[in-house]
A and B are shown apart, each in its own frame.
Chain A
């Protein structure tokens, strides 16, 4: 059997065993059902009313939670094995660093994907059963959402690997993972907004939308807005209206956000020497 698959299988089983998958799935289900039911409460209605508003709210929550979940799932991957001594052992096995890295990534990405499929898929089916909605459009929108949420998770797994491979202590990795989450999810948008306001429009207008590509959580949000055809961009996303919102491009950007951190962690892994 392929070495990557052997490692992936182990990581996947570990994920199931740690009840990670279960916990994430439950969180996703509660989020989706809660937002679907209470999402229109501000408009004075309870119950599933609008697919658009449900997915927009779900996207805002996912932007906070999915990166955090992915970082927490993956920050320990390498530094944990380093502390245990198993990383040293595995490096004497017939297994290349790329195989180990890709195997771990495949396994943990599968965990996140499974959690999104169950966690967003089940609520979609429940919504279809209990509400009078266009079943096809709900299912299509939710499946696209599942793909995007998984992709967002993969990005942050890959980012967590950079941390996990660079440091030598578990606690340091956990701290750095939280900082990364804080930067991408909270700080980035604020700073970008501040720059745009302070510059009073002196920044090249065609360049501005591309600044959003620097943050995978923003790319995720634009993609969600695009697929559901939402009209009301909110916050910093307004600048995306001026271009750079082609779905294919954005999708490619997300894939790059997976591939580049993975390649970077592989590079660090090979450069680093396992010493005492």
Chain B
């Protein structure tokens, strides 16, 4: 298999009344995790269904694991797909084990592997209960287990962490990291932006069926040129302004906050200001030499900030 797991060339999808997806080109490499972000109705689900071959594109070309996902031959390659639909639900009257055994058989895998996956997602104690008694989180874990069947080479996950507790979420990312290092390409769609940030290689932001941004987080940050936020404790505003030689203007100052830093008793006053990424090193150099400095935080623009930026940018140009 070659390096590119998924490739889209000018793929679009039109419905009679609405345009679900405007022509879009992108690719995902093997062993890469692509985060897919956008509002409801932005075209995320449509895009995933196109890649999986459930929907037929109105135009353009799709290659998933080197094959057109709607060709007859693609059935053989679907063994290597793992998909978690949004709001997944299963055969209510069957037990979790029966559901996973059935799905494993359809993918051509044995019961042993299904049982091992049930252990892996911590469903073993509930495996012999009917799915209708499952909580949202348990259903989600069953959904993940079926997506992980048979060491997939292409994993497409729609809101994978919804309903999962922190431990299960961590376990989930561990599995994703393991599959990724085995050469699996992952497309991960999530609304929970803070958690996902450290696990994705590249991000794509969609809105109203258009691609707003696609790239590594660092690239997106650079392109957006959003300010970074610096919080300083131990120095007065005046001292900071003097030290930094007027880099900080009046409008850069943010509301000061009191944060409990190391201990509860020793809460310090933090002065916060925005600055551009280029000034970051200068400021650090100047402030760190001051003996009064108690603490200093630097906050890079988060995925959420970037998401907001690209969306508002798009809305401005659209108007």
Contact = CB atoms under 8 A, between A and B. Distances in A.
A18 B93 contact: yes
B1 interface: no
A92 B90 contact: no
A245 interface: no
Interface stretch (A186-194, A195-203, A268-276): A268-276
Interface stretch (B99-107, B227-235, B272-280): B99-107
Interface string B31-57: 000000000000001100100111110
Contact of B83 (A14, A18, A89, A273): A89
Interface in A1-38: 1, 3, 6-7, 10, 14, 17-18
A96 B54 CA distance: 11
Interface stretch (A80-88, A106-114, A131-139): A80-88
A94 B90 contact: no
Interface stretch (B72-80, B115-123, B260-268): B72-80
A140 interface: no
A94 B75 contact: yes
Contacts of B85: 85, 88-89
Given A89-B83, A95-B106, A274 B91 contact: no
Contacts of B45: 276
A273 B89 contact: no
B256 interface: no
A72 B148 CA distance: 35
A1 B105 contact: yes
Contacts of A85: 85, 87-89
Contacts of B182: none
B89 A86 contact: yes
Q: Interface size class for chain A? A: 20 to 34
A14 B98 CA distance: 11
B39 to A, nearest CB: 14
B108 interface: yes
Nearest to A86: B90
Interface string B108-147: 1000000000000000000000000000000000000010
A84 B55 contact: no
B307 interface: no
A274 B55 contact: yes
B105 A6 contact: yes
A3 B106 contact: yes
A143 to B, nearest CB: 33
B107 A93 contact: yes
Given A18-B93, A89-B83, A273-B55, A6 B102 contact: yes
Given A86-B89, A88-B85, A94-B78, A6 B56 contact: no
A10 B53 contact: no
A256 interface: no
A7 to B, nearest CB: 8
Nearest to A80: B91
Contacts of B76: 94
A1 B102 CA distance: 12
Given A6-B106, A17-B93, A89 B88 contact: yes
B37 to A, nearest CB: 19
Nearest to B72: A96
A231 B56 CA distance: 57
A90 B106 contact: yes
Contacts of A95: 75, 78, 106
Contacts of A96: 75
B52 A92 contact: yes
A122 to B, nearest CB: 28
B56 A273 contact: yes
B54 A91 contact: yes
A113 B151 CA distance: 40
Contact of A92 (B56, B78, B102): B78
A93 B89 contact: no
A7 B91 CA distance: 13
A92 B83 contact: yes
Contacts of B102: 6, 10
A274 B106 CA distance: 20
A81 B87 CA distance: 13
Interface of A: 1, 3, 6-7, 10, 14, 17-18, 84-86, 88-96, 273-276
Given A6-B105, A275-B46, 6 more contacts: A3-B106, A86-B90, A86-B91, A90-B106, A94-B76, A275-B49
Q: Which 4 A-B pairs have the closest CB atoms?
A: A94-B78, A92-B83, A92-B52, A94-B79
